[in-house]
Structure 1
């Protein structure tokens, strides 16, 4: 598995890529594959948590809006809804950032592991540059955070006393 003979693979129909297998023994190769899979699963879990945090936060904003709309505008419950929305926004954005850092740590592990695999694996992983991947990740994180800020702003505008 790990020390297969060199094979030639066609690259984009023009030149041939000589596949150089990794120098790992079978057990080490299997161990690294398992570590790689674990990192992929961890990233998937953290991304799921990010989306869950976003959805849950926006859902709580709706509940706070309904509660605050029926509460007296000068009462404690109304003020509590406003305070909860602000604290929730800060906590949710903080959580999104923590999940992003967690994913980045797992990606670093994956990069270290992938360096030990064959040159074909490195070639395939290099199809999309690290800079482009990071750009996409951080744009998505920005929109998640902006959604929370916008949701909180809409809640405050909705609950603002009408004259």
Structure 2
């Protein structure tokens, strides 16, 4: 149930689309062992004086050590994840779902449930963050770097 709260916080802040928060739980496109080598928080929108944002979209660069299931085009991949702070900086298992921006969202199974690999032909989900006004995801990442910096491992 914690993950629903995280996605709700991101949705309330106008950072993620409801379809991404709901649809991404169903399956993954790639299961990998990877090391996070760079982590950049996106800028947090203003949700007013009576709210607290616990988690929001982050850009994380992963150095892929091994593809366990599925396929990836390279050994480095930039993913979108919803988190509160910097992740643990050691190698771990990551479940990735293709998004409509040409990248990947990190999928976190709810309550420790096992997820299946997406079947062929399943449509991609919306990225965890909206670009809008002619901006790209790279523009939003660069804005996050300017405002918060980033953490390399």
Q: Same fold (TM over 0.5)?
A: no
Higher strand share: 2
TM-score, L = length of structure 1: 0.23
Structure-2-length-normalised TM-score? 0.25
More helix by share: 1
Larger radius of gyration between Structure 1 and Structure 2: 1
